[in-house]
């Protein structure tokens, strides 16, 4: 079977240990692979070029969503379909075969939703509500865009076009160590706190294909007491959703990602609100002064 009319867009910054693996997982099902790099200082660009990818460079615009949309506007995409993939993500062979078949079928589908899982400390996190996370990652070029958010951004279709859920999986499998992971999530927690404050004091969070999940997050979870909700969320994931079945790695994953990270977000929300009251400033002013973001 010939390659489908599919372009892959991959965002990179110092991804030399991931980029070859990522490209190898999709090279047989894509006609073009576009790397949008934020001026890496390692071997990412050379490795990607050797794999046949086309390289674009753009200064990091402070969010994945802006970088994805920049790619859609500036990359020379000539295929019918486009797929967004992170450099540390890997497509399973059975999903690659499924994509190749589905994109060859003539239908009214404008997008395809894929099942994502996480590999943490070398183990797939199957329980605890972590798998699968359904994300729209393939769409007909010109019919979708990335919603403008600091994080937790998703591809959305322009209108209520039909999207199909595929059976296969792809995996977020980052090879960096736990120090890198905690530093990254510390940075993410700042953005998450700002988004919570945006939902509370500023603009509402836009809808997406995960609207029910976001309803639970912003209309249920955030209404719970800050002192309890991270603990309740961890308990739900680890005990009720059987996260403990993923072994010691599952304990670490659910504690760090389900408790520590969520609690850190709440602490930063508390800190910003406290600074607002103590300094007689608006929340918007504190966020702008402390973090440089417009609420």
Q: Give mean pLDDT, residues 139-160.
A: 94
126 vs 223 pLDDT, higher one? 126
Question: Lowest-confidence range among 47-61, 107-121, 221-235?
Answer: 221-235
207 vs 22 pLDDT, higher one? 22
Task: List Cβ<8 Å contacts ≥24 apart for 98-104.
Answer: 98/166, 98/167, 98/168, 99/4, 99/6, 99/29, 99/138, 99/166, 99/168, 100/1, 100/3, 100/4, 100/28, 100/29, 101/1, 102/164, 102/166, 103/4, 103/5, 103/6, 103/138, 104/1, 104/4
Query: What's the pLDDT score for residue 42?
Result: 98
Residue range 76-97, pLDDT digits in tens: 999 999 999 999 999 999 999 9
205 vs 214 pLDDT, higher one? 214
Residue range 137-147, pLDDT digits in tens: 999 999 999 99
Please, what CATH class does the domain formed by 6-172 belong to?
A: alpha beta
Residue range 241-280, pLDDT digits in tens: 999 999 999 999 999 999 999 999 999 999 999 999 999 9
Per-residue confidence band for 283, with pLDDT thresholds at 50, 70 and 90: very high
Residue range 24-74, pLDDT digits in tens: 999 999 999 999 999 999 999 999 999 999 999 999 998 999 999 999 999
Q: What is the DSSP letter of 105?
A: S
CATH 3.90.550.10 spans which residues of the chain? Answer: 6-172
Question: Lowest-confidence range among 58-62, 72-76, 122-126, 149-153?
Answer: 149-153
- Measured in degrees and rounded to the nearest 5, phi and psi for residue 274 equal -65, -45
Whether the full predicted model's pTM is greater than 0.85, yes or no, is yes
Average pLDDT taken over every residue of the chain: 93
């Amino acid at each position: 079977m010939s390659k489908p009319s599919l372009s892959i867009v991959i965002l990179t910054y110092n991804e030399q240990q991931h980029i070859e693996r990522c490209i190898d997982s999709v090279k047989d099902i894509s006609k073009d692979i576009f790397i949008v790099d934020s001026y890496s200082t390692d071997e990412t660009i050379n490795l990607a070029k050797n794999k046949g990818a086309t390289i674009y460079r753009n200064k990091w615009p402070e969010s994945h969503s802006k970088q994805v949309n920049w790619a859609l506007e500036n990359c020379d995409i000539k295929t019918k379909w486009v797929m967004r993939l992170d450099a540390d993500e890997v497509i399973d062979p059975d999903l690659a075969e499924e994509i190749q078949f589905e994109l060859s079928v003539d239908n009214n589908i404008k997008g395809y939703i894929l099942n994502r899982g996480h590999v943490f400390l070398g183990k797939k996190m199957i329980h605890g509500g972590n798998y699968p996370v359904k994300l729209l990652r393939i769409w007909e070029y010109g019919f979708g865009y990335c919603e403008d958010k600091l994080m937790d951004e998703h591809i959305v279709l322009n209108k209520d076009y039909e999207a199909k859920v595929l059976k296969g999986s792809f995996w977020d499998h980052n090879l960096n160590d736990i120090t890198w992971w905690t530093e990254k999530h510390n940075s993410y927690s700042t953005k998450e706190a700002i988004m919570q404050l945006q939902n509370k004091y500023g603009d509402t969070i836009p809808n997406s294909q995960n609207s029910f999940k976001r309803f639970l997050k912003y209309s249920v979870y955030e209404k719970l007491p800050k002192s309890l909700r991270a603990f309740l969320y961890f308990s739900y994931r680890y005990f009720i959703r059987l996260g403990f079945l993923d072994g010691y790695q599952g304990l670490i994953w659910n504690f760090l990602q389900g408790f520590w990270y969520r609690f850190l977000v709440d602490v930063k929300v508390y800190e910003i609100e406290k600074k607002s009251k103590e300094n007689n400033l608006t929340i918007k002013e504190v966020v702008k002064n402390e973090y440089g973001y417009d609420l």
